[in-house]
């Protein structure tokens, strides 16, 4: 089952049937057994014409987020550990990544609130003070306020490798800035957890030409999703649930940096494809 957040409300795709849900997003998704709730005849669920649904999804789509915080896990795949060790070789921090990969406690960091999150089809930003910027394609969990994983979306943890590589303590600046996160196109609420063989694919196009493409699967992750969720909820409450990006396993070669105009497409098959164009933050954006 797929939930799309649109500017007029929420649309549910169940099999081939589309429904309009007249329930506010944060109330809608924050519950146990979300799948069964959506599958049954909940109040405020109305069958709609597929053409109406397609039009709304095409024209009014938003990121599938309301009052949820976005957090992220780091160095959960061997490939991320290797890349981070390379980029931080000069700063002397390489050991940190090696240790956190092996440690019992995972790396978890705050990433974003909804106002900095791009949805499918929207723009993500690269920093002007970064010389090495990359997208990080990440399966992203939706966890309800009780700490139970209820769904999945596609995430992009946009990052500056030059800033993080200069000093690991710059991680928040490398990771948190306007439009440094993207989520979408929908929230997948499956009956069963995703299979380990679920593929993640990322393609980057520049002037219409594919300059990077690679694929992996979520089974290569060192940790379990439940383990990540449990650590995150140890001492934090999330009244509306939260999103947790689960780390990247696809890292473009070290001579690759994103440019303005690049188009990043991340596909996690049962969820869909999240597409975002890269730009610099328009310079007047901070003015009132
Ligand atoms: O350790 C820094 C961040 C790692 C990360 O974002 C990832 O592995 O995906
Ligand atoms: Mg990441």
Which pLDDT belongs to residue 42? 80
- The whole-model pTM stands at 0.97
Ion ligand 2 — residues with CB < 5 Å: 136, 157, 248
Q: Is the pLDDT of residue 41 over 80?
A: no
Neighbour count for residue 156 (Cβ, 10 Å): 29
Looking from the CA of residue 80, the nearest atom of ligand 1 is 8
Q: How far is the CA of 222 from the centre of ligand 2 (A)?
A: 14
In a 3-state reduction of DSSP, which class is residue 76? coil
Neighbour count for residue 32 (Cβ, 10 Å): 11
Nearest CA to 111 out of 169, 62, 175, 156 is that of 175
User: If you take atom 7 of ligand 1, which residue's CA is the nearest one?
Assistant: 74
232 and 244 in contact (C-beta within 8 Å)?
yes
Which pLDDT belongs to residue 29? 98
Nearest CA to 1 out of 135, 16, 273, 264 is that of 16
| Residue 118 beta carbon below 6 angstroms from any ligand 1 atom | no
Residues 196-251 pLDDT 10s: 999 999 999 999 999 999 999 999 999 999 999 999 999 999 999 999 999 999 99
| Residue 247 beta carbon below 6 angstroms from any ligand 1 atom | yes
| Residue 248 beta carbon below 6 angstroms from any ligand 1 atom | yes
Which pLDDT belongs to residue 283? 83
Looking from the CA of residue 247, the nearest atom of ligand 1 is 9
Which pLDDT belongs to residue 268? 98
| Residue 184 beta carbon below 6 angstroms from any ligand 1 atom | no
Q: CB under 8 Å to 122, separation ≥6 — which residues?
A: 63, 179, 182, 276
User: If you take atom 6 of ligand 1, which residue's CA is the nearest one?
Assistant: 74
Residues 107-140 pLDDT 10s: 999 999 999 999 999 999 999 999 999 999 999 9
Looking from the CA of residue 138, the nearest atom of ligand 1 is 9
Phi-psi region of 9 (alpha: psi -120 to 50; beta: other; left: phi over 0): left
Of the CA atoms within 13 Å of residue 155, those in its CB half-sphere come to 29
Q: How far is the CA of 194 from the centre of ligand 1 (A)?
A: 22
């Amino acid at each position: 089952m797929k939930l799309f957040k649109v500017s007029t409300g929420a649309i549910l795709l169940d099999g081939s049937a589309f429904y309009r849900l007249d329930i506010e997003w944060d109330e809608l998704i924050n519950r146990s057994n979300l799948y069964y709730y959506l599958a049954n005849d909940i109040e405020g669920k109305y069958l709609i014409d597929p053409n109406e649904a397609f039009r709304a999804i095409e024209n009014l789509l938003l990121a599938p987020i309301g009052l949820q915080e976005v957090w992220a896990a780091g160095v959960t795949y061997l490939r991320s550990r290797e890349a981070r060790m390379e980029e931080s070789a000069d700063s002397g921090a390489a050991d940190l990544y090696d240790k956190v990969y092996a440690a019992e406690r995972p790396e978890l960091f705050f990433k974003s609130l909804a106002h900095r999150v791009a949805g499918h089809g929207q723009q993500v930003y690269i920093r002007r003070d970064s010389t090495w910027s990359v997208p990080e394609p990440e399966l992203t969990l939706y966890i309800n306020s009780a700490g139970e994983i209820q769904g999945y979306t596609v995430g992009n943890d946009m990052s500056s490798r030059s800033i993080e590589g200069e000093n690991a303590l710059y991680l928040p600046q490398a990771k948190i800035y306007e439009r440094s996160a993207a989520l979408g196109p929908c929230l997948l609420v499956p009956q069963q957890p995703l299979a380990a063989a679920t593929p993640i694919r990322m393609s980057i196009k520049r002037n219409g030409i594919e300059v990077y493409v690679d694929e992996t699967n979520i089974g290569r992750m060192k940790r379990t999703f439940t383990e990540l969720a449990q650590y995150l909820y140890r001492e934090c409450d999330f009244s509306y649930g939260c999103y947790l990006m689960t780390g990247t396993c696809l890292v473009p070669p070290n001579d690759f940096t994103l440019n303005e105009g690049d188009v990043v497409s991340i596909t996690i098959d049962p969820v869909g494809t999240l597409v975002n164009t890269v730009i610099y933050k328009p310079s007047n954006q901070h003015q009132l």
